[in-house]
């Protein structure tokens, strides 16, 4: 979720939107057109206030690093626990932007009981850290609503656990809109969702008989399907220079709603909440 705030609204790639309006989908994220601004990178670190685990109603503060850039017309991102590369060169000049490439996510959900306040959820047991690898495709268009530099984009990604933790896949569509408000400020809106397979649901949201006896939570068997949707807003403001170079402040808020069995499981409905919030505030530098 931290990645969604840092880049889902296009904020780390604000130089792209201002200089060439390259797209910024919520999963992988393209960066500025080197033909306009040259090879570039934005690095950032933020503090995020987020749930202890997916579905929790207890919150904690964690740091989140990020980097997004372009080298020889190819874009790359590192956003907290996820990384991606756009293998289709960025177009030179305003145009449709087609994206495709690999993604990787390190899933830390419930991998450290020390970070979970609720004793009932701790009693369900820790999960190993999952490594999820896959790919994405996306399409964006510049000059959509407010100026020649705003950008509307959409993407679809799929990733699968290769570490043997949940042994299943996750589909994630996303839609993003970014517009610069001036040479120093910009704002982004974004929405995404996740559809997961049965293995993911069983690993993180089921409660079997032994777990029920240990935790006091009722037994529950979760099916796969649509797990949640997320919507958010984020903003950036240049502290030195402008959106193309220098220091910038970055912040945002997201709302996630747990759906279907994932909202009904006692891990969420009894020990947690269907409503999930995340707030992040940080600082970045573009050079």
Helices (H), the chain: 2-3, 14-19, 34-37, 119-122, 198-205, 209-215, 260-264, 266-269
β-pair partners for 248? 238, 284
CATH number at residue 225: 2.40.160.40
Alpha-carbon separation of residue 271 from 58, 120, 121, 264, 274 (angstroms)? 9, 7, 7, 11, 10
Q: What is the pLDDT of residue 39?
A: 73
Give residue 11's pLDDT.
55
Confidence at residue 114, expressed as pLDDT on a 0 to 100 scale: 94
Q: Kindly tell me the sign of the dihedral angle through the C-alpha atoms of 78, 24, 256, 262.
A: negative
Predicted pLDDT of residue 253: 95
State how far the Cα of 135 lies from the Cα of 129, in Å rounded to an integer. 20
Domain containing 67 equals 2-286
pLDDT of residue 89: 84
H/E stretch holding 276 = strand 275-286
Question: Over the stretch 157-176, which tens digit does the pLDDT of each residue have?
Answer: 999 999 999 999 999 999 99
Q: Report how many domains make up the chain.
A: 1
The pLDDT value given to residue 239? 95
pTM: 0.86
Mapped onto helix, strand or coil, the DSSP state of residue 117 is coil
pLDDT on residue 287: 85
Q: What is residue 5's predicted lDDT score, i.e. its pLDDT?
A: 52
Residues of the chain with pLDDT under 70: 1-38, 91-94
């Amino acid at each position: 979720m931290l990645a969604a705030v840092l880049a889902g609204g296009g904020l780390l790639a604000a130089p792209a939107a201002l200089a060439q309006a390259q797209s910024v989908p919520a999963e992988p994220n393209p960066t500025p057109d080197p033909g306009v601004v040259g090879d570039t990178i934005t690095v950032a670190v933020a503090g995020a206030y987020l749930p202890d685990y997916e579905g929790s109603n207890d919150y904690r503060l964690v740091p989140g690093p990020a980097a997004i850039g372009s080298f020889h017309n190819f874009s790359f991102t590192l956003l907290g626990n996820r990384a991606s590369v756009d293998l289709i060169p960025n177009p030179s000049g305003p145009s449709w932007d087609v994206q495709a490439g690999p993604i990787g996510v390190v899933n830390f959900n419930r991998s450290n009981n020390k970070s979970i306040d609720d004793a009932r959820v701790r009693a369900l047991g820790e999960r190993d850290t999952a490594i999820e690898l896959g790919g994405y495709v996306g399409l964006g268009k510049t000059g959509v609503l407010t100026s020649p530099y705003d950008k509307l984009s959409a993407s679809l990604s799929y990733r699968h656990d290769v570490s043997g933790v949940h042994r299943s896949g996750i589909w994630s569509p996303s839609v993003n809109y970014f517009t610069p408000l001036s040479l120093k400020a910009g704002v982004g809106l974004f929405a995404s969702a996740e559809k997961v397979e049965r293995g993911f649901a069983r690993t993180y949201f089921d409660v079997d008989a032994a777990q029920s006896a240990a935790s006091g939570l009722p037994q529950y068997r979760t099916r796969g399907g649509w797990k949640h949707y997320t919507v958010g807003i984020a903003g950036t403001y240049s502290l030195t220079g402008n959106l193309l170079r220098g220091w910038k402040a970055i912040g945002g808020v997201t709302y996630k709603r747990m759906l279907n069995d994932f909202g009904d499981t006692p891990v969420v409905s009894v020990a947690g909440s269907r409503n999930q919030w995340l707030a992040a505030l940080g600082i970045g530098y573009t050079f």
